[in-house]
Amino acid sequence: MAYVNVRERLRESLLQSKRAKTIMSATTANTSDQSNSTASFISAFLTGLVVLGALLVVWFALRKRNQAVYAPRTIFPPPEKRAPDLPTNPIQWVKTVVSTPTDMILRSQGPDTYFFMRFIRLAVMIFAPFFIITWVILMPIAGTGSARASGALALGRQLNRFTYGNIAPTQQLRLIAYFLVAILLTSYTLYLIDQEYRHYKQVRQEWLASPARANLDAARTVVISNVPEKYRSREGVQELVGEMGEITNIWLSRIIGKMEDIYDERNKETAKLENAEGSVLALAAKNKRKNKLPEASKAADVESDSLIGQYISKKKQPSHKRGFLGLLGKKVDTLNDSPAYIQEKEAELEKARAGLYELPMGDTIFVRFATREQAHAFASTVDPATSSTKDKLRVDKAVTAGKIEPGVDIMAEDVVWENLKMAPAMRASRKIVSWSLTIGLIIIWAIPVAFVGVLSNINSLSTTVPLLSFLRKIPPTVIGIIQGQFSACILPPVLLAVLFMLLPMVLRFFCKMQGTVRKSEIEKQLFVRFWLFQVIHGFLIVTVSSGLPAALKNIKNTLPQLPTLLAQKLPSASTFFLQWLALYALTSFGLAISRAVPFVMSYLGFILSGPTPRKEFKFRNKMGAIALATTWPPVALLLCVGIVYSCIQPVITLFALFTFILLYILYKYTLIWVVDQPNSLETGGEFMRKAMVTVFVSLYLEVVCLCGLFFLATDASGKRSKPGLAGGVLMAVLLVLVAVFHWHTTHVRFPPHECHYLQSTAPLATSGDASNPPYPPRKESKEGYEPSHDTDVEREYQHPATYEDAPVVWICDDTLGIGAAEATRLNELKIYASTEFAKMDAEGKVHVERGPPDEPWSEGIDAI
């Protein structure tokens, strides 16, 4: 017995020694990882400061030199829409931007961008108390924890000192502060959400009921897609509407088939001819200036066959191929062959138009009512998603049982004409394919995004996974570029940003292919899908891939404790997001506020705009716009990261607050003084409703993460800690309460139909006088004036291929007389050409007085 006892004691001693070595190894590795993560964050932050400083110097030096770049809205829009001038003093400049009322954005740009600013303001309102509470309560609690107290380096130097993971098993009572703070902050966020929904409904209803919009044609027009066949006629529409409103106009769509292809080919060829004319004028001016005329024109006894031939040899005149992508087929002379080709397509188009009324009817109809109230009442009645049981009894079951999709406030510029030809069955099947492709892309996209996340822990990974041990042989300089001391994980966030830059183009194509008939609706669908990508790949996968290598330490000895280890190591993934926030806030703000790229581009206009007056006009005068569908989701992801990690890593709340303050200044300046949003894509603030869902998702993720961390917490004896279990239960209850609040807010207090459609009890915005209405209409190419002929009204919502003439060939009036001669020649061929408002000087530079002669002009430039 004594022998057995001695042997058992010896075995226990050896096991304890082995455990001690394992703990020591893990502690040393943890210390190294903490040191690397802290150094990485500091390097990233300092790099961002350097970049910001350099870009601010650029802004300070250049902003006075080009008002068209730094404050285009003070000179380009019509006089009544121009923004006030900005001070030249930098301090006064900042003061003016900050103090200017945000309501100016609502009046000049519309509700969409106004609510975008409200969302950024909401983030500031969230993170201001988050920062104070977490830094006062949670940081001291975590900072004095002892989970990582050992190590060769001083603990105070480590960034991970303040994470949830620094709470030792012997300090589990400290978790009480964590779940109490989480409950407090979540409750406060829900209160702010309720206030924003209330404000959203009020502003949207006031915008819909604004007297300035009462007479807008678009406000009284409804588009209906997937209409049952029995209603695809004027009589059928009258039957469908019944007594719900007075109809003033009806536009029936037709499946025009090849007519659309002919129309597109004609317009493309016209644009090709216009570009060729511009190139000829520029090359002729250059040859004249440098005395590089063809030999035939230099000989006095030889008469040139044309005016162009006097300055450009036949071989150097424009030519192109008609084959695939202009790469295949026979090469033809553009100046002589294109007019004939355009004439051919015009003849085909006229023939196709002659049989227009024999073509089958499409399932999309446009209906204009006498009042906007009637339009909204009808749309809400036939909309299966929002109509009540009482409303459904008023319309045919074929409508309510189907997938009819009504849309209000529709402008002709908002219509995706090529999608009108799709049948309901094709739309349904394409929608399935579209979402299948999106889901497949989400799955495939996990590979490069996970790789980016792993890069942020390459040192840890090389020591954890035996197959990747070769990474330790890479020179430190190379590792430094990827992760190390100077770059310090700059590369992973940059790679992540590049990956997300490629997504919108693909996702927008997926949304369009499913047959959506409105461009604005495509943008709303793109918002949802891009947000899914952001939260899945920009947060979830990066979080797991950043924390997993740390959790794999000593995996052979600690496999049963893998869930616990993963929970303990996941807080270290916050370092990646700290670096990302720091770089995003500093570099994005600096690059956008400096407008260095637009400034350089403005001086490269002679290269980028081309020699045609149309391109020159658009390049010099057309203001840019913010694509909210792709700009908003990344901002929502910033909010999500800040909320989720607010308790796990309180340091992040400071950088989140700092980031959103900078974004508030940046976008306020941009929306008031720089960009001009196209009114045709205005949704009246419907992006905000989708954006508020992202806040709920952020709360869900935060509560789920904390719930898992609390349930996996262990005490000194290795058992589940009682404070952790209590916190886990409370988080589970809180998760249910958030879900109930979410449903009650979006379906009971602020249901979609009460926010989307104009309510009969909506308060009218009567403040202000007629000359300065609260929500003035923004003039558009077709929405700022009443058509002067009934023909214009009849064609307003018809496919352009059924009536539209070819675009004018806009040519410069040059000093050599070539432009005027070419315009005369083309007009004789019955191809409309003009030299109005455009000149080219002897240096070959294009000067434009106003927009193209075939477009309306309002003594200013609007967004297109």
**Dihedrals phi, psi of 180, to nearest 5 degrees:** -70, -40
Q: What is the mean pLDDT of residues 526-534?
A: 93
Question: If pLDDT is split at 50, 70 and 90, which confidence band does 486 have?
Answer: very low
Say what the pLDDT of residue 3 is. 42
Kindly state whether residue 215 falls inside one of the protein's structural domains. no
Q: What is the mean pLDDT of residues 50-67?
A: 87
Long-range contacts of 588-592 (CB under 8 A, 24+ apart): 588/666, 589/52, 589/662, 589/663, 589/665, 589/666, 590/51, 590/52, 590/53, 590/54, 590/55, 590/56, 590/59, 591/55, 592/666, 592/670
Q: Which helix (H) or strand (E) holds 857?
A: none
Say what the pLDDT of residue 147 is. 58
Sign of CA dihedral 164, 168, 174, 176: positive
Kindly state whether residue 638 falls inside one of the protein's structural domains. yes
Question: If pLDDT is split at 50, 70 and 90, which confidence band does 487 have?
Answer: very low
- Ranges assigned E (strand) in 238-388: 247-254, 319-321, 331-333, 361-369
Instruction: Lowest mean pLDDT of 359-363, 562-566, 694-698, name the range.
Output: 562-566
Kindly state whether residue 790 falls inside one of the protein's structural domains. no
Residue 687 CA: distances (Å) to CA of 115, 119, 184, 207, 269: 8, 10, 28, 15, 38
Kindly state whether residue 379 falls inside one of the protein's structural domains. no
Say what the pLDDT of residue 249 is. 93
The last residue of a domain, from among 723, 756, 789: 756
The tally of domains found in the chain comes to 2
- Percentages helix, strand, coil for the chain, rounded to the nearest 5? 65, 5, 30
Establish how many alpha carbons lie within 13 A of residue 750's alpha carbon, considering only the half-sphere containing its beta carbon: 23
Q: Are the C-beta atoms of residues 113 and 152 closer than 8 Å to each other? A: no
- Mean pLDDT (the chain) is 80
- Checking if the pLDDT of 366 tops 70, the result is yes
- Checking if the pLDDT of 17 tops 70, the result is no
Q: Are the C-beta atoms of residues 222 and 379 closer than 8 Å to each other? A: yes
Pick the residue with more confidence: 175 or 22? 175
Per residue in 404-416, pLDDT (tens digit) is: 889 999 999 999 9
Question: If pLDDT is split at 50, 70 and 90, which confidence band does 766 have?
Answer: very low
Kindly state whether residue 613 falls inside one of the protein's structural domains. yes
Which range is most confident: 21-30, 190-199, 282-291, 717-726? 190-199
Encode burial over 512-522: b for 16+ CB neighbours within 10 A, e otherwise.
Answer: bbbbbbbbbbb
Question: If pLDDT is split at 50, 70 and 90, which confidence band does 35 have?
Answer: very low
Say what the pLDDT of residue 354 is. 92
Residues 581, 461 share a domain: yes
The gap between the terminal CA atoms of the chain, to the nearest Å, is 94
Distance CA 437, CA 452 (A): 23
Q: Which residues contact 788 (CB under 8 A, 6 or more apart)?
A: none
Distance CA 617, CA 634 (A): 32
Strand partners of residue 405: 225
The last residue of a domain, from among 756, 787, 820: 756
Per residue in 308-347, pLDDT (tens digit) is: 888 988 888 888 887 776 677 778 889 999 999 999 999 9
Say what the pLDDT of residue 307 is. 86
Identify the CA nearest to 154 among candidates 31, 22, 33. 31
The last residue of a domain, from among 756, 773, 796: 756
H-helix segments, 82-164: 90-99, 103-108, 111-133, 139-143
Q: What is the mean pLDDT of residues 252-279?
A: 93
Residues 827, 735 share a domain: no
Residues 454, 603 share a domain: yes
Per residue in 708-743, pLDDT (tens digit) is: 888 888 777 878 888 889 999 999 999 999 999 999
Q: What is the mean pLDDT of residues 11-30?
A: 41
Identify the CA nearest to 577 among candidates 546, 551, 550. 546
- Checking if the pLDDT of 355 tops 70, the result is yes
- Checking if the pLDDT of 2 tops 80, the result is no
Other CB atoms within 10 A of residue 477 CB: 10
Q: What is the mean pLDDT of residues 364-385?
A: 89
Place of tokens 């206030």: 195
% of the chain surpassing 90 pLDDT: 41
The domain in which residue 28 lies consists of 7-210+424-756
Q: How many residues can be counted in the chain?
A: 864
- Checking if the pLDDT of 32 tops 90, the result is no
What is the dihedral angle through the alpha carbons of 65, 71, 77, 82, rounded to the nearest 10 degrees? -120
**Dihedrals phi, psi of 695, to nearest 5 degrees:** -70, -40
- Checking if the pLDDT of 188 tops 90, the result is yes
Per residue in 77-102, pLDDT (tens digit) is: 877 778 888 998 889 999 999 999 99
Distance CA 421, CA 640 (A): 40
What is the three-class DSSP state of 163?
coil
Residues 105, 19 share a domain: yes
Residues 674, 584 share a domain: yes
Identify the CA nearest to 724 among candidates 336, 157, 79, 173. 173
- Ranges assigned E (strand) in 370-497: 405-408
User: What is the CA angle 143-149-150, rounded to 5?
Assistant: 160
Establish how many alpha carbons lie within 13 A of residue 533's alpha carbon, considering only the half-sphere containing its beta carbon: 31
- Checking if the pLDDT of 698 tops 70, the result is yes
Distance CA 808, CA 481 (A): 54
- Checking if the pLDDT of 429 tops 90, the result is yes
Residues 115, 41 share a domain: yes
Q: What is the mean pLDDT of residues 799-817?
A: 93
Distance CA 148, CA 338 (A): 76
Kindly state whether residue 414 falls inside one of the protein's structural domains. no
Question: If pLDDT is split at 50, 70 and 90, which confidence band does 496 have?
Answer: low
What is the three-class DSSP state of 663?
helix
125: its two tokens: 């309102």
- Checking if the pLDDT of 49 tops 80, the result is yes
Say what the pLDDT of residue 568 is. 55
Say what the pLDDT of residue 474 is. 56
Residues 826, 751 share a domain: no
% of the chain surpassing 70 pLDDT: 75
Question: If pLDDT is split at 50, 70 and 90, which confidence band does 18 have?
Answer: very low
Q: Are the C-beta atoms of residues 100 and 630 closer than 8 Å to each other? A: no
Kindly state whether residue 855 falls inside one of the protein's structural domains. no
**Which amino acid is it at 650?**
P
Distance CA 662, CA 657 (A): 9
- Checking if the pLDDT of 168 tops 70, the result is yes
Kindly state whether residue 789 falls inside one of the protein's structural domains. no
Residues 736, 813 share a domain: no
pTM for the complete prediction? 0.85
What is the three-class DSSP state of 408?
strand
Say what the pLDDT of residue 754 is. 82
Residues 202, 279 share a domain: no
Residues 724, 829 share a domain: no
User: What is the CA angle 787-792-797, rounded to 5?
Assistant: 110
Distance CA 77, CA 860 (A): 5
Identify the CA nearest to 727 among candidates 160, 179, 159, 49. 179
Say what the pLDDT of residue 423 is. 85
Residues 181, 285 share a domain: no
Sign of CA dihedral 158, 163, 168, 171: positive
Strand partners of residue 333: 319
Residues 604, 744 share a domain: yes
